[in-house]
Amino acid sequence: MGVLQPPPLGLPRGMTVSISPTKSPSSPCSASPVVGSSSGQSWRERDSGLSQSLLPGHEAGDSQNEELEKLLEECRTTLGVTVKILKQLLTEVKSLKSTLQTERGEWLQFQADLQVAVAVADRLRAEAEEELNALRTAHTDVERELSASQQRQKEADMQLVTLRGELKESRQRLATLSQVQSKADTQASCQEPEKPNGGQANISESKEGTQRGRERGLYRLGREEMESRSQNESTKNVASEEARTDCKGVTKRYLRNVTNEDRNGEDLRSSEAQRTVIAERSRSQDGFNLLLRRHGGSKRNSLLRWCQSRTQGYKSIDITNFSSSWADGLAFCAVYHTYLPSHIPYSTLTPENKRENLSLAFKTGETVGIAQTLTVEEMLRPGGPDWQRVLSYVESIYRHFEM
């Protein structure tokens, strides 16, 4: 007798299950063969009845399979849609992550640029304050020197007025002394011829006193001559002393005028020198401000970027600092070659010839007026050169060619 087995639920569409009766070992049909037509007919009836009884089960299984397949199709469709949505969401998440990273990098760059700008602004403000203080100090010094010059001018004018008064007085004294001297000479010339007349009158009056009159006249004449000589000598001495005094006064006045002119000239030269120094400072400051505005950052970074821009395209050049990047001398030669190509045969230079490269660069700088503040031995020492000294030398190059 056959046993009915239900079909599996997960069978694919179009697949049918055939059920055949199984033989039981205990059935009598297995012990003896089928004999007679009646027994064969009964078996056929039984098989037909069994097949008819199995038809509703097959139909139910097919409907269940179709429903299951429909459900699977719906699930697959739903899963496909879900997968597409998930893929879209993942793509959007990745794009959002990349956008967030880009914006974060831009924000960090903006913060760094803002810090650099603030640092540059602080440096410029500090330098401007220093220059303003220097200008104020120079202005104060100039005002002080101007007031001192004005005071000296007033003193010189007062001395000039005093000297003019003294000269006028000395001239009046000289005129008075000359008048006195002329009067004395006139009196002496008038007294000399009168004395013999007086002697003769005395002789005519009394013959006895002739000798005494003569003696007295001679004595008076001698005394008057002595007095007149002494007066003349004193007048001459006074006049010579006043003349000497006048000469000394004129000499002192001349020396004072020359000294004042020298002082005024020195003051003018010192003021011009201060103005020149201030102008040079302002010019150099303008040059560095232009360099800072062009490259940004500190003076070190600005000069580094300037060197990188000048030596761009030169072989064997990679300037990243002010120490090891300059040790072979090619960086110096490249910078000089951009300004003086006839002095530097750059195509023939090699990094191995460090000493020759450095010597050539330093000699080229000296030919155009750049002082050699570095030495070849200093550049070739094992620990590398001092970056501050290299920076100072590069700054001198920049000042010479760019300012």
pLDDT in tens, 177-189: 888 888 777 776 6
pLDDT in the model for residue 177: 85
Residue 322 lies in a domain: yes
Kindly indicate the confidence band of residue 277, based on its pLDDT and cuts at 50, 70 and 90: low
Residue 92 lies in a domain: no
Average pLDDT over residues 253-272: 64
Lowest mean pLDDT among 83-87, 170-174, 179-183: 179-183
For residues 393 and 165, what is the distance between their CA atoms, to the nearest angstrom? 65
pLDDT at 95 exceeding the cut of 80: yes
pLDDT at 212 exceeding the cut of 50: yes
Residue 197 lies in a domain: no
Give the total number of structural domains in the chain.
Answer: 1
pLDDT at 193 exceeding the cut of 50: no
Lowest mean pLDDT among 59-63, 193-197, 378-382: 193-197
The SS3 call for residue 311 is: coil
Phi first, then psi: give them for residue 350, nearest 5 degrees.
-130, 150
Phi first, then psi: give them for residue 400, nearest 5 degrees.
-70, -40
Between the alpha carbon of residue 94 and those of residues 56, 102, 153, 159, 199, the distances in Å are: 56, 12, 86, 95, 154
pLDDT in tens, 104-129: 999 999 999 999 899 889 889 988 99
pLDDT in the model for residue 218: 52
For residues 301 and 320, what is the distance between their CA atoms, to the nearest angstrom? 10
Residue 315 lies in a domain: yes
Phi first, then psi: give them for residue 297, nearest 5 degrees.
85, -160
Between the alpha carbon of residue 268 and those of residues 260, 263, 322, the distances in Å are: 12, 8, 43
Residue 394 lies in a domain: yes
| Largest pairwise CA distance in the chain | 247
pLDDT in tens, 299-343: 888 899 999 999 999 988 999 999 999 999 999 999 999 999 999
Residue 346 lies in a domain: yes
Q: Give the domain range for residue 370.
A: 298-402
Phi first, then psi: give them for residue 11, nearest 5 degrees.
-75, 145
Residue 336 lies in a domain: yes
Closest-CA residue to 314 (of 286, 287, 349, 282): 349
pLDDT in the model for residue 63: 87
User: In this structure, what CATH number is given to the domain that contains residue 358?
Assistant: 1.10.418.10
Phi first, then psi: give them for residue 125, nearest 5 degrees.
-65, -45
pLDDT at 12 exceeding the cut of 60: no
Average pLDDT over residues 173-201: 66
CB neighbours of 9 closer than 8 A, spacing ≥ 6?
64, 65, 68
Residue 369 lies in a domain: yes
The rounded Cα 153 to chain-centroid distance in angstroms is 43
